[in-house]
Structures are given as C-alpha cells and as structure tokens.
Chain A
Amino acid sequence: GNSVTQMEGPVTLSEEAFLTINCTYTATGYPSLFWYVQYPGEGLQLLLKATKADDKGSNKGFEATYRKETTSFHLEKGSVQVSDSAVYFCALIAGNGNKLVFGAGTILRVKS
C-alpha cells in the first residue's frame, strides 16, 4: 500500500540553524508529494508540492526535491526562525487518486 515515513521529532534548533526533515515514501505509480505545516490550534496549510521526479517545490525559504531514485522528499530550510515552530507533515497522493496519505508529522521547535 501507499505510505509515508518521516523522521521522528521533536526537532529542536536554534534560530538561524539549518533544517532538514527527512521523508520517504512507498507508492504505486507516480505520486504527487506535499509538505503541509500545522501551527498550534490550526488546520494544515500547504507549504510546497512537487508532482514529478526532480521537481523542486519551494516556499517561504523551504525547499524539497522529488527524488524518485531514493523515494524521498526531504524538507530543508537554510535558516530557521522562531516563527517556523510547528508540526510538519509530509504527504502524497498516489497515481490518479485524490486522498492524501500523511506521515506521522515532525514537531519543530526553534529557540531564540
């Protein structure tokens, strides 16, 4: 079946540190890949997406590259801010489907 595996958190960083959150997937066909962010008490916001191999999604300084050979979609940011503290979810939609399959989420805490 389709599944997403994320690195376990929480991840605690100092402001301006480099961030990597690992995400790997298993899927039939060629999935579309997404990163969503959830701030406390709120719903999920789409952070970035990539729909085919070697695509790079980017937004607000975050980037992730769709790597078909390693079935990965790692999230990176060069310099995190306190305001980036949230839960980050990697997700996929497989083939011609419509439902999102989520990883368990990674809590990010950024300290000033």
Chain B
Amino acid sequence: NAGVMQNPRHLVRRRGQEARLRCSPMKGHSHVYWYRQLPEEGLKFMVYLQKENIIDESGMPKERFSAEFPKEGPSILRIQQVVRGDSAAYFCASSPGTVNQPQHFGDGTRLSIL
C-alpha cells in the first residue's frame, strides 16, 4: 500500500511530556500538510512543508509546536510540554506538489493527554 502512512495511530501522553507524530507521504509526493481535528469540529490547517523547507506555518500555534520534513525520513510534528487542549486527531496529507492537486490523507494520530 503506497498511501500516506502515519504513526502511531494512538498516542497517550501526560501533561508536560512531548508528543512526536510521524508521517510518510505517498510515493512520489514531495509536499506534506498537517491538519488538526478537534472533537466535533472540522479539520484546521497547521503547516505545509516541502523537503527541508517550511512553506506555510500560519496555522501552527506560536509556542510548543514545531514541524520538519527532512531530506531523508518522515515528516515529524512535535508538540512539547503537552496540555489537555492538545488532545485531538492530527492528520497528515501529501500531494505531488503542483497547485490545486488533491491532497491524500493518512488515517491520523489520535493524541490523548491525561
């Protein structure tokens, strides 16, 4: 299956810990997007990356959140010092990169903060 792969599917952290979410894009896709889905809400854009570059991080909280997409390996969304309000489903999507191409989504990581 060459789809977008996210892991872990479920992640439980205590307040103050760090959460690391990984995303491997579809084969041939060089553009990665992260979205957050809070309970009972739609998805909200967080960040858009290409290999080794952050293109648009306008949806990322200013503190505690960071993202990277290194030359080798998956994209990582990192949340430091997690709080209860970070509990959500985090979805990664990828696209081939040209404008307005459909984005293909992974199954998400469900983050729960105790």
Q: Closest B residue to A99 by CB, please name it.
A: B45
Asked if A109 is an interface residue, CB under 8 A from chain B, the answer is no
A-B contact pairs, 30 of them (CB 8 A): A34-B102, A36-B105, A42-B107, A42-B108, A43-B4, A43-B6, A43-B91, A43-B106, A43-B107, A43-B108, A44-B93, A44-B105, A45-B105, A49-B102, A51-B100, A96-B99, A98-B48, A98-B55, A99-B33, A99-B45, A99-B56, A100-B35, A100-B93, A101-B45, A102-B35, A102-B42, A102-B43, A102-B44, A104-B41, A105-B41
Given A44-B91, A105-B42, A100-B33 contact (CB < 8 Å): yes
Give per-residue flags for B35-66: 1 if the beta carbon is below 8 A from chain A beta carbons, else 0. Answer: 10000011111001000000110010000000
Q: Classify chain B's interface size.
A: 20 to 34
Q: How far is the CB of B76 from chain A (nearest CB, A)?
A: 18
Asked if B95 is an interface residue, CB under 8 A from chain A, the answer is yes
Q: How far is the CA of A49 from the CA of B101 in the complex (A)?
A: 10
Q: How far is the CB of B113 from chain A (nearest CB, A)?
A: 19
Number of interface residues of A (CB under 8 A): 23
